[in-house]
Structure 1
Amino acid sequence: MSFFLKKSPAQLLPDKNCLEGRSFRIPKAPSKDSVNFVTGNPMYGPWPVAMEQALFGMGCFWCSEALFVDMKGIFSTQVGYAQGKTPNPTYEEVCSGQTNHSEVVRIIYNPKTITYKDLLKVFWSGHDPTVPMAQGNDCGSQYRSGIYYYNEEQKGEALESKEEYQAALSKAGMKEKTIVTEIEPAGEFYYAEDYHQQYGSTS
Structure 2
Amino acid sequence: MFFTRKAAVLPTRETALPGRAAPIATAALHFVNGRPLAAPAPAGFETAVFGLGCFWGAERIFWQTKGVWLTRVGYAAGHTPNPTYEEVCSGQTGHTEVVEVIYDPAEVTFAELVKLFLESHDPTQGMRQGNDVGTQYRSALYWTAPEQEKIARAMAGAYNAELAAAGHRAAVTTELGPRPDVFFAEAYHQQYLAKNPAGYCGIGGTGVSCPLPPVKAQ
TM-score of the alignment, normalized to the shorter chain, above 0.5: yes
Distance 2:164 2:122 in 1: 15
- Number of the residue aligned with 2:187: 194
1:89 aligns with 2:83: yes
Matched to 1:13, the amino acid is P
Q: How does 1:129-140 map to 2 (within 5 A)?
A: 129-140=123-134
- Number of the residue aligned with 1:19: 17
- Number of the residue aligned with 1:110: 104
1:150 aligns with 2:148: no
Q: Report if the CA contact (8 A) 1:9-1:132 is conserved.
A: no
1:98 aligns with 2:98: no
Larger-Rg structure: 1
Instruction: Report the alpha carbon displacement of residue 155 of structure 1 after superposing the two structures with TM.
Output: 0.8
Matched to 2:185, the amino acid is A
Would you say how many aligned residue pairs link Structure 1 and Structure 2?
192
Q: Helix, strand or coil for the counterpart of 1:107?
A: strand
Matched to 2:23, the amino acid is R
4+ runs of 1 displaced by more than 4 Å? none
Instruction: Report the alpha carbon displacement of residue 136 of structure 1 after superposing the two structures with TM.
Output: 1.1
Distance 1:137 1:87 in 2: 27
Residue among 29, 42, 62 paired with 2:26: 29
Q: Report if the CA contact (8 A) 1:102-1:143 is conserved.
A: yes
Deviations 1:115-148 (A, max 9, x none): 1001001110110001010001110000000111
Deviations 1:33-78 (A, max 9, x none): x221222322112331121101011010001101110111111100
Q: How does 1:43-122 map to 2 (within 5 A)?
A: 43-122=37-116
TM value normalised by structure 2:
0.85
Q: 1:16 to 1:131 in 2, by over 3 A?
A: same
Matched to 2:188, the amino acid is Y
Q: Report if the CA contact (8 A) 2:79-2:93 is conserved.
A: yes
Q: Report if the CA contact (8 A) 2:74-2:182 is conserved.
A: yes
Cα RMSD for the two superposed structures: 1.3
Unaligned 5+ segments in structure 1 are: 1-6
